[in-house]
Structure 1
């Protein structure tokens, strides 16, 4: 029987040698992600969505 990653018999943790860490350069700012969500849901421009996003999601933009 093949050993699965979840629920090992001995309870050993899953090794992290194949996991890549996120870098600061690869993470998009929260406001940009929220603005992209608003453009899809509300059919508004990205400029308008980036202004409205902190108001809608209740967070202030601190870049």
Structure 2
């Protein structure tokens, strides 16, 4: 049976060769989705929802 990546016995960390990092472009669709949800829930404009969405959902920088 092949050794699994999670269960390494010698305790060495799993390499991050195949892991992709988040880019700024990947956050724009999330902001649009969150703003659209706020417009439905709170009956506010899309412009106001796009400003408030990072604060409301906890993604404020």
Runs of 5+ unmatched residues, structure 2: none
Q: CA RMSD in A?
A: 4.0
SS for the counterpart of 1:18 is coil
1:26 CA displacement: 2.1
How has the CA–CA distance of structure 1 residues 32 and 3 changed in structure 2, closer, same or farther, with 3 Å as cutoff? same
Maintained 8 Å contact 1:31/1:50: no
Runs of 5+ unmatched residues, structure 1: none
Is 1:32 aligned to residue 32 of structure 2? yes
Higher helix share: 2
Count, aligned residues: 59
> 1:1-63, aligned counterparts within 5 Å?
1-28=1-28, 31-38=31-38, 42=41, 47=46, 50=49, 53-54=52-53, 57=56
